[in-house]
Amino acid sequence: MKPLNTGNWLAQVHFNEQGLIPVIAQDMTSKEILMMAWMNQASLQETVELGQAVYWSRSRGRRWHKGEESGHFQNIKEILLDCDGDTILLIVEQVGGIACHTGAPNCFFQPLVKDSDDLHWQNRFGEKN
Amino acid sequence: MKPLNTGNWLAQVHFNEQGLIPVIAQDMTSKEILMMAWMNQASLQETVELGQAVYWSRSRGRRWHKGEESGHFQNIKEILLDCDGDTILLIVEQVGGIACHTGAPNCFFQPLVKDSDDLHWQNRFGEKN
């Protein structure tokens, strides 16, 4: 594969003091927010070259090719940078329809709900946290 | 206003070492991602009580009631916590239809595009960065 121009476009991405940038993945069809994760410069570059989401796992301290274990890869349709250059949005095709490591379609399955005066995070899978 | 139960639901939110949590705002109608910003515990609590998004501005180092200057408030329809408890998704009604301080409807208006072998962030408003 011919190496892509890495000059200017990468320089406009603002990584934080840990060298990371927050990345939001959105499903191209349903427009659901699938997950939020982090990339460093190398994983962002690899995402662009590979056409699949490659994150930086903070918990494991290593490169994380999303789907490497589950097969739930994210095929990149579009990569967008925000106004400040410090957040990235990926528009993806979510292979298998499952983005979350819990097996949920996406990671945001806990709405804050109010029963009388009690607030709690409800689990849309049925359990009350 | 009667104070809400702040016991359990807040304890399940994982703020980072700076006491902040990333928050994604999504438009309830168009499902566009409007912006990504940060909250601390106080601004999250205020968001819930007020029913409008209140962030923590890292650049200004202060509470930021979104829309306080522009009038572009975000009325909260739903608040969701992710699987790990370390990211929040707000489903909002974006007053005025403008979320970005640049005047754009949302902050993610710069897709990464490739012309021959040159990658660059295109500005959907017309300028090439």
Structure tokens at A109: 């399955």
pLDDT for A129 beyond 50: no
Of B14, B94, B102, B22, nearest in space to B58 by CA = B22
Model confidence band, residue A110 (pLDDT cutoffs 50, 70, 90): very high
**A119 with B84: Cβ contact below 8 A:** no
**B4 with A117: Cβ contact below 8 A:** yes
Q: Using CB atoms, which residue from A48, A84, A111 is nearest to B79?
A: A111
**A84 with B107: Cβ contact below 8 A:** yes
**B121 with A26: Cβ contact below 8 A:** no
Model confidence band, residue B125 (pLDDT cutoffs 50, 70, 90): confident
**B118 with A12: Cβ contact below 8 A:** no
pLDDT for B126 beyond 80: no
Element (H, E) at A49: helix A41-50
Of B24, B49, B47, B48, nearest in space to B34 by CA = B24
Residue-wise pLDDT for B50-102, tens only, equals 999 999 999 999 999 999 999 999 999 999 999 999 999 999 999 999 999 99
pLDDT for B3 beyond 70: no
pLDDT for A3 beyond 60: no
A113 class by beta-carbon count within 10 Å (0-12 exposed, 13-18 middle, 19+ buried): middle
Q: What is the pLDDT of residue A5?
A: 54
What is residue A107's three-state secondary structure?
A: coil
Q: Using CB atoms, which residue from A48, A80, A104 is nearest to B83?
A: A104
Mutation pick from A106, A110, A129 vs chain B, by most beta carbons of B within 10 Å, is A110
Of A45, A107, A41, nearest in space to A76 by CA = A45
Smallest CA–CA distance, residue A15 to chain B, in Å, is: 15
